[in-house]
Amino acid sequence: MSESDHEERLLDRRQPLLESRAQPTSMSLPAAVHYRLGRLAELAAAAKASRAEIVAMLITEADLDARSLSRRILDYRELTVADVVDPLALPQADPDRVVVPIVRPGRPRRRPRA
């Protein structure tokens, strides 16, 4: 990153994290991981957690040890779709493939009231 790309932001260390200024991010996830994130959101419905909040929570819990992180990244790179999705919870296209629903980014649309 060049110096012209570098910006700084002053943060109050005592401020509650959820009240601190947000930084937009854009990333693509493998479809199986995106599906799993949706499942995590369903499981966290009682806490009314958004997908962004789940990702942020997982990041804050990540170990900041470089060797441990490197090992976990290498392990992640070896995962298969079957390691990430529950094939019993999804329709199967055939014995080797599952059908993963596509969830668009953003909040789910509200259903019209009857």
What pLDDT digit, counting tens, does each position of 67-101 carry?
A: 999 999 999 999 999 899 876 677 777 778 888 88
Apex 111 CA angle, 54 and 100, nearest 5: 50
* Whether the Cβ atoms of residue 98 and residue 90 lie closer than 8 Å to each other: yes
Instruction: Output the pTM of the full model.
Output: 0.76
What CA–CA distances, in Å, run from 64 to 23, 29, 60, 79, 81?
20, 22, 9, 22, 26
Asked if residue 2 has pLDDT above 70, the reply is no
Residue 33 CB-density burial (10 A; 0-12 exposed, 13-18 middle, 19+ buried): middle
What pLDDT digit, counting tens, does each position of 38-60 carry?
A: 889 989 999 999 899 999 999 99
Question: Which residue has tokens 């259903």?
Answer: 111
Asked if residue 105 has pLDDT above 60, the reply is yes
* pLDDT for 106: 61
